[in-house]
Amino acid sequence: MPIVVHLDLMLARRKMRSRELAAAVGITEQNISLLKGGKVRGMRFDTLARICEVLQCQPADLLSWVPGPEAPDNDDAGPADGLG
């Protein structure tokens, strides 16, 4: 997937655990784990904004684009895979 999530790096820089971030943002630890692993197809902007607020960072600190093949479209995945 051309969008790479760097949440694990930002958590390490902030010396914060996934559990703490999940509680502060208001989403489950499982969703944080899926996000860290790049297993989600999207997230809501308000969720991204809350993550950035808690981690005191910019969206570009968490996401980057790298050239590569697109993930196949799966219309059955639902909106944002539950993140938000």
The CATH number that domain 3-70 falls under is 1.10.260.40
Which sequence spans correspond to the domains of the chain?
A: 3-70
Say what the pTM is: 0.79
Residue whose token pair is 């971030």: 21
- Residue 48: partners with Cβ closer than 8 Å, 6 or more residues away: 59, 62
Q: Which residues of the chain have pLDDT under 70?
A: 1, 71-84
Quote the pLDDT of residue 68.
82
Quote the pLDDT of residue 69.
78
